[in-house]
Structure 1
Amino acid sequence: MARCFPIPFISLVASLALISPSPAQATGEHKMTPEQQAAMEAYTKAATPGPQHAALAKQVGNYSLLIKSWEAPGTEPMVENGTATRSMILGGRVMMESMNSKMMGQPFTGHGMRGFDNVTGKHWSTWNDSISTGLMTTTGSCDEKDACTFSGSWVDPVSKKTITSRMVSHWSGADAETFEMFGPGPDGKEFKMMEITYTRQK
């Protein structure tokens, strides 16, 4: 089975090939060219965790969840409870979240990742779960208090159309975060589809 590598990985390998010293360079006869040095510095900068990653690390822990979801505007929410665990991976570059709860009374598990891309200057996240086989990706921005606004999309399994949503989150204390997800209602107007209250366990 053929293995596919992401484009950034291929670019990195190509750049390392350019940067790697030739036999003559290895003996100290030549130094890297300015182009090779610039490429090495660019990749090093892109890979170095910064303050945005440190902010994500502050969210590490175990959380209890209160989940509210709405099928349509004006309806009563469905309320479920759950748990989530957040940890840092890849040398402090990415925060991973594992979630366990119920959806419509059935067991529900989800997996998400969040990070900050030093190259684009954008925050990003991914999400996949046990009620789908797809992947949702979002990008956005966060302020100095880690209040964030993201936007993303997924393909609706019924209509097969791409659905765009908006997600916002904010912290009301060091251990309490509220996440809200908005999407189009039957009339096409935006409404709140979901609200999750995270409470970190001591």
Structure 2
Amino acid sequence: MIRKHAVSMTALALLFAGPLAAQEAAGPKMTPEMQAMMEAFQKAGTPGAQHQQLAATAGTYDLTVKAWHAPGTEPTTDTGTATRKMILGNRVMVEEVTSQMMGQPYNGQGLHGYDNVTGKYWATWSDSMSTGLMVSEGSCDAKLACTYTGTYHDPVTKKPQTTRMTSRWPDKSTEVFEMYGPGMDGKETRMMEITYKKRAQ
């Protein structure tokens, strides 16, 4: 559905943009409604300050991954690497992660972006330990301290599960990401903490 919606929106934009561009070249003036529609699509698709912030975090990172499997227990600790780069004309960041989890090789891929239309940051995540997709939305401040709410389908209950995620930058080369979800008692508990250390370029 998400893919179909995105394709539909792109087709709609092209549907309007093509004739409008042709009209501009030919000389006839657009109606105010057509002009407003064209400007709205252009504004929605133009990267801005938020996308520049994301681009500033591109690079290669060393990871320390802590995971809590039950409240009150010591976390397991693994290491890994992450690479981040901008795609689609600096509109979206793609992140590739290679690590270990529960003694098994782990690979994940995420997309991160900012939607000019909703005014929200968004993210997706898929990995080698599932066949599903987590979709998240949230807000960030000027220093990219963020809070997201993510939704995925729980493998046991088959029902949608919600998690809360935060990220902060103690310094320019360090990001701390945390994920929280419901524990066995239904109360929110910390599930994961990932510390990103950016390599010097």
- Name the counterpart of 1:179: 177
Q: Which runs of 5+ in 1 are unaligned?
A: none
Secondary structure, in 3 states, of the residue corresponding to 2:36?
helix
Q: Kindly indicate whether the alpha-carbon contact (under 8 Å) linking 1:68 and 1:78 is maintained by their aligned counterparts in 2.
A: yes
Report matched runs for 1:19-98 at 5 Å.
19-21=17-19, 25=23, 28=26, 30-98=28-96
Summarize deviations over 1:72-112 as a string: whole Å, max 9, x none.
Answer: 11011011000000000000001110000011111000000
- Shift in Å at residue 25 of structure 1? 4.2
Summarize deviations over 1:53-90 as a string: whole Å, max 9, x none.
Answer: 00001100000000000111101101100000000000
What is the RMSD computed on CA atoms of the aligned residues?
A: 1.8
Give the whole-Å Cα distance in 2 for the aligned partners of 1:76 and 1:11. Answer: 47
Give the whole-Å Cα distance in 2 for the aligned partners of 1:167 and 1:27. Answer: 48
Q: What is the TM-score with the length of structure 2 in the denominator?
A: 0.92
Q: Which runs of 5+ in 2 are unaligned?
A: none
Q: Kindly indicate whether the alpha-carbon contact (under 8 Å) linking 2:51 and 2:113 is maintained by their aligned counterparts in 1.
A: yes
- Name the counterpart of 1:115: 113
Give the whole-Å Cα distance in 1 for the aligned partners of 2:25 and 2:144. Answer: 49
- Shift in Å at residue 145 of structure 1? 1.2
Structure number with greater Rg is: 1
Report matched runs for 1:118-157 at 5 Å.
118-157=116-155
Q: 2:79 matched to 1:106? A: no
Q: What is the TM-score with the length of structure 1 in the denominator?
A: 0.92
Is the helix fraction higher in 1 or 2?
2
**Number of residue pairs aligned between Structure 1 and Structure 2:** 198
Q: Kindly indicate whether the alpha-carbon contact (under 8 Å) linking 2:169 and 2:176 is maintained by their aligned counterparts in 1.
A: yes
